[in-house]
Amino acid sequence: MFTIFSSRRTGTSLFATTPNRWDWALLPIVLCVFAALAFGAAQMTRPFVLGQPTPISLNPVQLPYYLLRTILRMFMALTCSLLFSFVFATLAAKYRAAEKMLIPLLDVLQSVPILGFQAIAIAPFIALFPGNLLGVECAAIFAIFTSQAWNMAFSMYQSIKTIPPELNEAARVFRLSGWQRFWRLELPFATPGLLWNMMMSMSGGWFFLVAAEAVSVANQDIKLPGIGAYIAVAIAHEDGRAILWAIVAMLAGILLYDQLFFRPLLAWADKFRFEESQGDTAQNSWLLDWGRRSALVRAITDRFWARMRRALGWFSAPRRQDAPVAAPQAAASLVWSRMWDFALLLIAVATGLAFFLYVHGVVGWGETFHVIGLGFITLARVLVLIALASVLWVPISVWIGLRPAYSQKVQALAQFLAAFPVNLMFPLVVYVLVTYRLNPNIWLSPLMVFGTQWYILFNVVAGASTLPNELRLAADNLGVRGWLKWKRIYLPAVFPSFVTGAITASGGSWNASIVAEYVTWGKTSLVADGLGSYIKQMTDAGDFHRTALGIGVMCVFVMLLNRFFWRRLYLLAEDRSR
């Protein structure tokens, strides 16, 4: 079991450290990473004039450069998503008033399509950096951020809300401040699940990469150098060979950052697993092993953690025991809570009234009811697909999570499949549906869940991998077998993680409907009835009012689904985990 406090380590002087063979082995990797980061960052600040075309070459020789630019954007967005998750999860989990506003707000944010965020953000970012490519880069990073942040925030929020009572009691006994509690208890406990969701977020960034790097503003197309823009140009030219080269480049990039970033982090975070004994579930990383054997890396990390302990106040003096809250203070708190609820109610009423006036005066009620009907069609697709994905992936994910050797083998493959943009399947989909004259309303539906089913896989694998080893041993000793073992141990243990994954998979499926219900390959288009295809068509036509109507109806559907279905499952998971 991870501990709330750890002993101080004596830092080693860098100048007194003699490099060993592992330092020389790591030196080329470190130099290559820093050189690539410096070169990519320099290219992001080049001069740019709105209206000037940005040529994207389909020559495979350019793919390493495009891959570098794409991965740099995705890691910048991932950093912003991580900071957002820290703030959001802490506020939502610790303050009831904030939770009432932030959780519904997150439901809205994850239901807004990436096209909606781009339409709002692209012009301000370009105006913020006039004459510089950095404005468009920031818009692309923001778009990728909107495809990464929500599931990470949900994961950390769920982890903080389900911290075991004995750890909470230990924090109270040690009189940890709120700052110390976050860094010494809440973040370590949330780290295993958060890391798996970070990998899923990177994959989600790949999934919507075409929309992020091929930006439309002021009736002009801006394509940033990257894999997403490369795919967009290949689709427009119906170049199947370029599509295959893009797939190879994606696979290379995923394997690269899996080995250099995520695999070492997963192996390092194994010490945060909540159990009394270390079982056979430890992750391995060749890079982390090299770093631990390196004299310079050990010296640098010792000094880094020593400074972090001082800066974050992990070992400051215990605060005084809090005095009991007086009755007048409790009454005042209750009054403020009621006032906050009333304010939220007024905001909801004002928003509903504004939407009513907008529908009545701009788009009309006939169009609105038509869009609501399309929303029910997409809702049916989402529920059926999430149910089928859950039946398929929950048993497989538990099996993988309990076997770290297999977990590490399928980790990179799962990341690649989760990252695989559905746009790359358009040639095959168009060919099959046109050749065999299949109904798009049925056979385009699986595309919605192709990139989002992996949220369930990653979250359940993370939940199963943190199952205490002593609980598994106790079940074996008691002779618990078969369905009883799944019913009493495995399913309850992964249920909170499954709900988190299912919520984000559901929201992602609504987002993916824009891509999945409207498929194009060159001059051929296949359209399925649904809310996603409606938003896509209205966006292409430049009809802002109907695009806003479609996005608004989608937000309402997602909020109602989360409130009356997923939220109830989440509360059940929170209660069962305690």
CATH of domain 21-45+54-273+343-577: 1.10.3720.10
- In tens, the pLDDT along 293-315 reads 888 777 888 787 777 777 666 55
Please tell me the distance from the alpha carbon of residue 304 to that of residue 60, in angstroms, as a whole number.
Answer: 41
Which amino acid, one-letter code, is at 356? F
For residue 221, list its beta bridge partners: 216
Encoded tokens for 283: 């992750």
- In tens, the pLDDT along 358-382 reads 776 777 888 889 999 999 999 999 9
- In tens, the pLDDT along 203-234 reads 778 877 877 887 765 566 788 899 988 988 88
Confidence of residue 15 (pLDDT cuts 50, 70, 90): low
Residue 320: DSSP 8-state: P
pLDDT of residue 311: 67
Q: Which of 416, 126, 381 is nearest to 253 (CA)?
A: 416
Q: Which position has the token pair 């078969």?
A: 482
Q: Which of 306, 276, 78, 272 is nearest to 186 (CA)?
A: 272
- In tens, the pLDDT along 261-278 reads 988 888 888 777 765 444
- In tens, the pLDDT along 493-542 reads 888 889 888 887 888 888 888 878 888 777 778 889 999 899 888 877 77
Encoded tokens for 163: 């911290």
Please tell me the distance from the alpha carbon of residue 402 to that of residue 465, in angstroms, as a whole number.
Answer: 6
- In tens, the pLDDT along 155-174 reads 899 889 888 888 888 888 98
Residue 161 contacts residue 93 (beta carbons within 8 Å): yes
Confidence of residue 325 (pLDDT cuts 50, 70, 90): very low
Q: Is the per-residue pLDDT at 125 higher than 80?
A: yes
Domain boundaries, the chain: 21-45+54-273+343-577
**pLDDT, greater one: 423 or 384:** 384
Q: Is the per-residue pLDDT at 130 higher than 60?
A: yes
- In tens, the pLDDT along 131-159 reads 888 888 998 899 899 888 988 998 899 88
